[in-house]
């Protein structure tokens, strides 16, 4: 399966930020994307995952437009998990908003049973990020857009999270677009690294 974005152009209030961005991602691939802060990487991620609708260009899977209704097959994982969760929901509800993952998968991601009854503000960034990743790898997910998902985590947690995510995605044929500033990290985990300056013709 191929996720393809063609000639994406977007501007915030007439301030152009993306111009003619084209990139493609295969299901069995992990592609890295690196670029300066403020250059529009996160905007591109939001467009790919359907969070920003009014852009020019198109995003297709296998040449077909993505169905706007129902579960969106391209899922975005954010840098700050605490901002993506309802502060008044306990973790169990946060997770089940997407699906109820099998115990085995919870173990792979190191989710402890006693975290389920906690509120989001009672867990650390690393712990919350495990939830937000597990939430994103719903069985209907075909592609994962990982926008700086390990930037706020310590090195040990970073390895744990990437290992678990990559193993799961390889086994289930899910493609990953990994956005980061850390070129050393991308070199280790990615099949291919794209430079944002080279694909954004602004």
Q: Based on the shown chain and the rule CB under 8 A, indicate whether residue 124 belongs to the binding site for another protein.
A: yes
Crossing angle for the helix pair 125-136 and 155-172, nearest 10 degrees? 10
Q: Based on the shown chain and the rule CB under 8 A, indicate whether residue 154 belongs to the binding site for another protein.
A: yes
Q: Based on the shown chain and the rule CB under 8 A, indicate whether residue 131 belongs to the binding site for another protein.
A: no
Q: Which of 127, 134, 142, 144 binds another protein (CB under 8 A)?
A: 127
Q: Based on the shown chain and the rule CB under 8 A, indicate whether residue 193 belongs to the binding site for another protein.
A: no
- Find the shortest distance in angstroms from Cβ 92 to another protein: 16
Q: Which of 68, 155, 171, 198 binds another protein (CB under 8 A)?
A: 155
Q: Which range of residues in 35-43, 48-56, 68-76, 89-97 is near another protein by CB under 8 A?
A: 35-43
State how far the Cα of 135 lies from the Cα of 133, in Å rounded to an integer.
Answer: 5
CA atoms within 13 A on the CB side of 112: 6
- Short-list 109, 75, 71, CA closest to 91: 109
In the complex with another protein, which residue's Cβ is closer, 36 or 62?
36
In the complex with another protein, which residue's Cβ is closer, 57 or 110?
110
Q: Based on the shown chain and the rule CB under 8 A, indicate whether residue 90 belongs to the binding site for another protein.
A: no
Q: Based on the shown chain and the rule CB under 8 A, indicate whether residue 32 belongs to the binding site for another protein.
A: no
- Residue 180 neighbours by CB under 8 Å, 6+ apart: 32, 33, 34, 148, 150, 151, 186
CA dihedral sign, ordered 88, 94, 96, 102: negative
Q: Interface with another protein by CB under 8 A: which residues?
A: 12, 35-39, 42, 79-80, 83, 110, 112, 114-115, 123-127, 148, 151-160, 162-163, 181-185, 187-189
């Amino acid at each position: 399966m191929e996720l393809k974005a063609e000639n994406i152009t977007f501007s915030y209030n007439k301030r152009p930020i993306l111009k003619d961005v084209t990139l493609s991602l295969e299901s069995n691939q992990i592609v890295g994307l690196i670029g300066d802060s403020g250059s529009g990487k996160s905007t591109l991620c939001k467009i790919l995952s359907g969070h920003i609708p009014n852009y020019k260009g198109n995003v297709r899977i296998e040449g077909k437009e993505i169905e706007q209704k129902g579960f969106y097959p391209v899922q975005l994982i954010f840098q700050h998990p605490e901002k993506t969760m309802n502060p008044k929901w306990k973790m169990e509800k946060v997770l089940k908003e997407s699906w109820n993952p099998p115990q085995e998968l919870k173990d792979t991601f190191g989710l402890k049973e006693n975290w389920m009854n906690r509120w989001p503000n009672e867990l650390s960034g690393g712990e919350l990020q495990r939830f937000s990743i597990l939430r994103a790898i719903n069985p209907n997910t075909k592609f994962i857009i990982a926008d700086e998902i390990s930037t706020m985590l310590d090195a040990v947690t970073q390895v744990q999270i990437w290992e678990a995510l990559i193993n799961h995605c390889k086994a289930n044929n899910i493609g990953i677009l990994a956005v980061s500033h850390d070129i050393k990290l991308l070199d280790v985990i990615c099949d291919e690294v794209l430079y944002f300056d080279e694909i954004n013709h602004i």
